[in-house]
Amino acid sequence: AMAYVVGLIATDGCLYPTGRHISFTSKDKQLIQTFLQCLGRRVRYSLMRTRLGRWCYRVQLGDVRFYRWLISIGLHPRKSLTLGALAVPDEFALPLVRGLLDGDGNISNIVHCPTPSTYPDYRYERLWVYFNSASRTHVEWLRDLLQRVLAIRGFIEVRPARPPHHAFYRLKFGKRDSVKLLAAL
């Protein structure tokens, strides 16, 4: 459960520079409740508006020991562009990866018809699993972790920087590797 929480904090969480405060934000109320249950905390969260005027849920904790432990395994304040490897043993890799997927990942599943005019009945299913990050170091570490733990190979797609925005990285798994990954998770 703690590896899953670390994955969620690494993607949608925030360590404040105070040295004690941790926050986790999501549009998904159930994910907020699961996060708190995994931590063994009372389910308390607040509803807040985003910069775009939409609603989301937020949890904020004050826990110095937990904060220091998160720092010791590789998380830090203002981590979006600088997140790297997380010091998590391989035996806890899959719950961590599930947290990363639930936080900043997505699953795409479509039925593709590549040549409708020539072969209107020819269709096949496409499945991709993506992990998104502004840190290339993090997606490279995640690709290497999953290759070691599950023997699957991912491809890193890059959206170049367009000022004022930074470059964006997406670790992509094709159908065969996605099936293997999702079955393991």
- pLDDT for residue 95: 97
Longest alpha-carbon distance in the chain: 64
Nearest residue to 112 via CA among 175, 55, 164: 175
Q: What is the pTM of this model?
A: 0.90
- pLDDT for residue 182: 97
- pLDDT for residue 43: 64
- Residue 49 to residue 22: CA distance in whole angstroms: 19
- pLDDT for residue 142: 97
- pLDDT for residue 50: 84
- Residue 127 to residue 110: CA distance in whole angstroms: 7
- pLDDT for residue 22: 94
Mean pLDDT by 10 residues, the chain (185 residues): 96 93 93 92 82 91 94 93 93 97 95 84 91 96 97 95 90 96 97
DSSP the chain: -HHHHHHHHHHHEEE-TTSSEEEEEES-HHHHHHHHHHHT-----EEEE-TTS-EEEEEEEE-HHHHHHHHHTT--TT-TTT-------GGGHHHHHHHHHHHHEEEEEEEE-S-TTT-TT--EEEEEEEEEES-HHHHHHHHHHHHHHH----EEEEE--BTTBPPEEEEEE-HHHHHHHHHH-
Q: Distance from CA of residue 36 to its chain's centroid? A: 17
